[in-house]
Every structure is written in structure tokens, then in C-alpha cells.
Amino acid sequence: MGLELEPLFQAWSYFRRRKFRQCSDLCSQLLERPPGEQEPDSEYTVFQAAWSLKTRALTEMVYVDEIDMDQEGIAEMMLDENAIAQVARPGTSLKLPGTSQGGGPSPAVRPVTQSGRPITGFVRPSTQGGRPSTMEQAIKTPRTALTARPITSASGKYVRLGTASMLTNPDGPFINLSRLNLAKYAQKPKLAKALFEYIFHHENDVKNALDLAALATEHAQFKDWWWKVQIGKCYYRLGLYREAEKQFKSALKQQDMVDTVLYLAKVYLRLDQPVTALNLFKQGLDQFPGEVTLICGIARIYEEMNNISSAAEYYKDVLKQDNTHVEAIACIGSNHFYSDQPEIALRFYRRLLQMGVYNCQLFNNVGLCCFYAQQYDMTLSSFERALFLAENEEETADVWYNLGHVAVARALLQTASSLAPHMYEPHFNFAILSEKVGDLQRSYTAAQKSEEAFPGHVDTQQLIKQLKDHFAML
């Protein structure tokens, strides 16, 4: 017979196991027990704990990590009040990254966005599309790969998050923010921090969150770095980047934290100051040597500035610290592919498969690497798997576009075999492609020609044997 836990400990257990819905429901039952108590400042300690735990559970249900750089949309582009110079110096702006630096692959080989940024090997919010330079380009901007919707603005995303949070409380909001006495809660740090995260993330009420954070940091006599970071986050959400910069800098003076460095770098990137962000990351590495997020941040900036060789070096440093970092593996593999090294790129993509990454994009890349590495036996099977895993029309179109290269290659190989009948390579490759597309008769004919040109070729002999066995079964 199992032991029954106290309801509060049971709710805490649900929270630790990330079962936030069960945690919230159990806390609601605990909050209904004390009659007449509507605020968490009563003498009931269990009531305060249940109230705080429920706010944290509701927050975790809609929590989104804001450290990654947000996608700039039409609103941010046209209402940018932080622009200092219309024409930035080369190598100092993300809007005009310029040509490739450091001997990396040419932009003519590596696909770029409308703004000139190279397409990265890993989709991030800041790399879904280039920042349009005009309103006409912004209107014509294609749909993003992640949302399949036109890019509008970052503020619209937070509105949708706030709308989605209403689904967690079908009976209405858990806390009526208009009736809260924020000054009273600011004097209780434990309750104030949970309340702030609930207001900021769940209710998306930046104004009330900022008021609470300002009162709390004043009560702490401006000595609590955590509240300064929260004020900076509120300023950033409101578009007050210089004020956010001051708060993050003040927090770093009191306490060195990796997240604070990342938030401050995020401000500099929004202000289009990548060189300042790079210096900040490198200073952070002096305090936190080997920190993966800081090294990865440097690599991202170099990649967006089209300095591919430097980005690849820092991504390699990331793998030295964390050899399972998916973004670093994908970006290094992409860099090798566009550097005419598909065999090496294939090793990195196979590593992702071994790690359990299993999606359409990965098999599409594997198929391309196999095709350019002339490993035709795996090319079509990889593309077939990519088609099976495609989740929307855009992904399907990408796979079929790449399959078109295979069809063109088959025609070119047929031409090459007619021009150089003494060479076995065109005959053998044409036989492999024909066998994969189901044209077995032409595959057998080409394999025979390959055997005549090179009688000792083992792969040709194995292919002929497979085709003979198949014909014998018909």
C-alpha cells in the first residue's frame, strides 16, 4: 500500500516533473480551502506556498526563453528610432554584411538572403530572413520556414503569447492585476519574484511588470541585480534599448552572470552594433572560460557578418566544449558543403542522425551531400525519407527541387557515356541512378557497358548480379 503525500508536496512533485497542469489544479484546490482568504498575505503559510507555486506553474506553461535574438519585422524596420548612421562602415553592421571575409566561400556560391546575409546551417529567429531595406521589399518578404506566416513584428508575437496564456485559465485570470497593491508585494521578495514572472510571461502586461520591478528594486535599495535584469527586460520589450543597456550594465557590476551578458548583447545586436557585442562576449569569456553560449554567440555574429571562416573556428571551439551541440554541428556541416567538401559535410550530418535528429531538412541535406559526393546509392533513398517527413508544402517543394538535380544528372551522365564510351564511371553512375528510379533495363545495359570498360570493377559486378537476380524473379 503506497504512502499518500500531503497535497502541497504532491503539487511540488508535479511541478518538479513538469506536470504543470496537474500542479495548477492541485494548488487551486488548496487555495479554495481557507474560507474568505483572497490574498496570499494571510497567516496561512500553506496558502502562500500554494499561491506562489501556482503562479510559477502557470508561468512555466507559457514560458519562452527571450535570450535569442528576435526577428525584426516591418514595424521594427519602419519605426526604428535608434539608427545612428544611414551608411555604416564595412564590417560594423549586420544590415550590410558585405562580402565574405577571411577566405571563406564566396557569396555567389553560398545562398544569401535579401539583405546579403549568408543562409546559415541552423534556423534561428534572427536568420529566418534578411532585414528588408525598403517597405516594398518588406511586403514581398517570403513566408518564414517556422511559422509559415508573413513576418509582421516582434510585438505581435507577444500579443499571441498573451492570448495563448488565456487557455491555461478557462474560468478567467488567476490574479486580477488591476486590484493588486504592487507596493505591498514589492516588500515581499519571495512572492514578488514569482508574481513578476507571472505578470511578464503569462499575462504579458509589461507596464505592471515594470512597476513591480521598480518598486522591488527600490525596496532592495538598488542592491539586487536580479531586479535590475528584469527592469532591463521590460525596457527591451518596450523598445527602450538604451535604458535597458543601463540596467544590464548596472546588474553586471553587481553580479557577473552569463544570462545578463546575453541580454546585453541582444540589446547591442538590436542597435546594430555587432562589434560591441563581440567585445562583450569576449569579455564574458574572460569571466566564464569555455562557456558554450558565449562562444556560440560570437560564432553567430561572425556568420551574420559573412565572416564564415571565423564563424567556423568558433563553432569548432563550441564542439570542443560540447560535442553534441546541434547548431555547431549543423553550421560546420553547411560550411563544408558550400566549400566543396560534401564528403566531410556528410560526416557531420550523419552525426546528427546518430544523435536522434530526425527531420525533413536533415535528410534533404544528406541527400544533397550524397549526390555531390557521387554516392548515388544513398541519394534517392535520403530524398524519399525527406519527402516522407515533410510537414508542409514548402518543405516538399525544396525536396522536389533537389530531386530535379538528380534527374538532370542522369541526363548528363547519359551524354557523358556516349561521348566517352571507354570510361566506366559515366556508365556505372548512370546505371546506379537508373536502378534507383526504377528503370532496370537501362540500368542493366549501362552496367554491362561499365563492365566492358572496367572488367574488374567490383561494384559493377555486384550491381549486375542484383539486376540478374531481380530479372530471374519476374
3-state secondary structure of 150: coil
User: Using CA atoms, how far apart are residues 118 and 138, in angstroms rounded to an integer?
Assistant: 18
**Among all chains, which residue has been given the C-alpha cell 518564414?**
144
If phi > 0 it is left, if psi is from -120 to 50 it is alpha, else beta; for residue 148 that is left
CA-nearest of 373, 362, 357, 372 to 395 is 362
Q: Please write the tens of the pLDDT for every residue from 25-49.
A: 888 888 876 544 444 544 457 778 8
pLDDT at 172: 62
Q: Show the cell assigned to 445.
A: 545495359
Q: Residue 73 has what pLDDT?
A: 52
pLDDT of residue 183: 86
**Structural contact between residues 281 and 298, judged by C-beta atoms closer than 8 angstroms:** yes
Residue with cell 550523419: 350
User: How is residue 373 written as a grid cell?
Assistant: 559526393
In sequence order, which residues have a C-beta less than 8 Å from that of residue 432 and are 6 or more positions away?
376, 377, 443, 463
Q: What is the pLDDT of residues 119-138, one digit of tens each?
A: 666 776 555 544 444 444 43
- Distance (Å, rounded) from C-alpha 236 to C-alpha 70? 11
Phi, psi of 171 (to 5 degrees): -90, 5
> Domain boundaries in the chain?
7-61, 371-473
Please state which CATH number belongs to domain 371-473: 1.25.40.10
Residue the block writes with cell 531595406: 133
Q: What was the pLDDT predicted at 279?
A: 94
Total H helices, total E strands in the chain: 23, 0
- Name the residue type at position 188: K
What parts of the chain have a pLDDT lower than 50? 1-3, 35-39, 41-43, 74-75, 102-108, 114, 129-157, 159-168
Contact 347, 374 (CB under 8 A): no
pLDDT value of residue 42? 45
Q: 289-324 burial string, b = 16+ CB within 10 Å, else e? A: eebbbbbbbbbbbbbbbbbbebbbebbebbbeeeee
Per the CB < 8 A criterion, the answer to whether 264 and 276 are in contact is no
Question: Cβ(154)–Cβ(64) under 8 Å?
Answer: no
Backbone angles phi, psi at 118, to 5 degrees: -70, 145
Question: Rounded distance, CA 291 to CA 286, Å?
Answer: 10
pLDDT at site 89: 66
Q: Which residue's C-alpha cell is 564564415? A: 308
| Residue appearing with cell numbers 505592471 | 208
What's the pLDDT score for residue 109? Answer: 56
Show Cβ contacts of residue 206 under 8 Å, excluding neighbours closer than 6 positions: 200, 234, 237, 238
What 3-state class would DSSP assign to 153?
coil
User: Which pTM was predicted?
Assistant: 0.73
118 forms bridges with which residues in the sheet?
A: 112
d(CA 104, CA 306): 9
pLDDT of residue 156: 44
Specify the pLDDT at position 71. Answer: 54
